[in-house]
Every structure is written in structure tokens, then in C-alpha cells.
Amino acid sequence: MNLVYLDESGFTGNLPVNYSWIKVGVEKCVEKINDHSIKVNSLCMFNYSNDDFYWATTQSTIDSDMFIGLFELAKPDFDIPTFIVLDNYSIHRSNKVKEKTKEWAEKNIFFFFLPPYSPELNLIEARFKNLKHHYIRKRHFNNREELESNVNNEIFKVCQNA
């Protein structure tokens, strides 16, 4: 049996600056680009059974159709029963996704929903936190392509260190 944790995460052109240093007496100033259109969304899955990591990114908003498409793109062909652990995000419970889960169940892929308000039970949450706060060193991006490329490269590094 495979146990796979799934979650989506969004990245913006201005990632949080967690720490900085300056010379004494110098005012701290962090340049910020206020372009709210620079966003990338990702759907990632962490296979607890073998430490594999699967993902897909998009510059689009993740709705039901996009979730299904990204899931199909990111999921490998599981040859044994697989339980996908995920939160109660409304998209996961949409009618379109419910219809698709019937098809996936025929392929031995089953969804298991976590209790509401329990992100600490989803093991992929810690991976996203590390990704956003430690792996992505550059904090400001000038365009979506630069951000998406950086996110994909850093997700790959997280996969290697899983």
C-alpha cells in the first residue's frame, strides 16, 4: 500500500523575508516589487511509503479542472493500492473531483480526507514550509517564468533531500 500526502501551495513574486542583517545605524530597507500578477501554484504529493515526491506547477489559479489536470500530470502510475491524504479544501470535495475519484478508485487510488483544521497531520506541510522559508533563497522575482523556474528547481532539490 502507498500512503501519499497531497497539498497545493501558492508562491508569489515577493516571498517573505525571514531574517536580515544590517550595519548598526543603517536603516533596514527591503526592495519589494508590488506586482500581484507574479504568482505560481503547485500541487505536490509526497509518498511516505518510499520517499518519492511528485509535483506539477501552473501559473493559473487552481480550480477543480486545474486540480484534476495537475493531479493527473503529477501522479505516477501506482501499481498497488494508494491512499491520498489531503485536506478539506473545497476543490477537493467539488462535484467534478468527486466524479473523477470514482475513476481513480478503479485504478486503486483512494482519497482520505483529514479532519478539518489539522494541517499538522499532513506531512507535506513541513516540506512546503522548508521550501518557502529555506530552499528558495531569492525573495523577489520580476516575472512569472522566473518564479516558476525557481520553484520547480527548488522543489526538485526538496525531492532529492526527502
Express each pLDDT in 77-131 by its tens digit. 788 999 999 999 999 999 999 999 999 999 999 999 999 989 899 998 888 888 8
Residue with cell 523577489: 140
Angstrom distances, CA of residue 80 to CA of 6, 110, 123? 18, 11, 21
DSSP state of 133: I
- Written as one letter, the residue type at 50 is N
At 4-56, the pLDDT tens digits run: 999 998 888 776 555 566 778 877 666 655 566 788 898 988 888 888 888 88
pTM: 0.81
Tell me the C-alpha distance between 161 and 43, whole Å: 18
Q: Is CATH 3.40.50.150 the classification given to domain 2-160?
A: no
The angle that helices 64-74 and 95-106 make with each other, rounded to 10 degrees, is: 20
Helices vs. strands in the chain: H and E counts, helices first: 4, 5
CB 128 within 8 A of CB 12: no
